Amino acid sequence: MSTKTARHTFDDSKEKLAQDLRTVVSDTEDLLRATADQAGEKAASLRERAQANLSVAKARLQDTERAMIERTRVAAQATDEYVHENPWYAVGVAAGVGLLLGMLIGRGR
């Protein structure tokens, strides 16, 4: 899977999760309004809808978490391979960043 495809899939998952959470909130608000003055069939129906949407939102959240963990693992593995293949370049970059941070901190005093 290419980086752009993975990023697009991840962004789609985040948007779908946000939409599912908005639906859960909306259904919960409907449930609260419906049960404020009655506890009949309408309230039971809204409770069932809220529970179903909550289950879907939880499943999507778990899928998104798995995708994030996988992307993090792949990025860490790629970084590890790059550093092993180019150790002196990595040391140089780290030293440069350290020098830059040191200069910035020293200037702030």
Q: What is the pTM of this model?
A: 0.49
Percentages (nearest 5) of helix, strand, coil residues in the chain: 95, 0, 5
- Among all chains, which residue has been given the structure tokens 């790059």? 82
Reported as a single tens digit per residue, the pLDDT across 49-100 is 777 877 787 787 778 778 888 988 999 999 889 888 988 988 898 899 999 9
What does the pLDDT average to over 6-24? 73
Residue 61 near residue 17 (C-beta atoms within 8 A): yes
Q: Residue 16 has which token pair? A: 């779908």
> Residue 37, Cα to own-chain centre: how many angstroms?
38
Residues 6+ apart with CB under 8 A from 14: 64
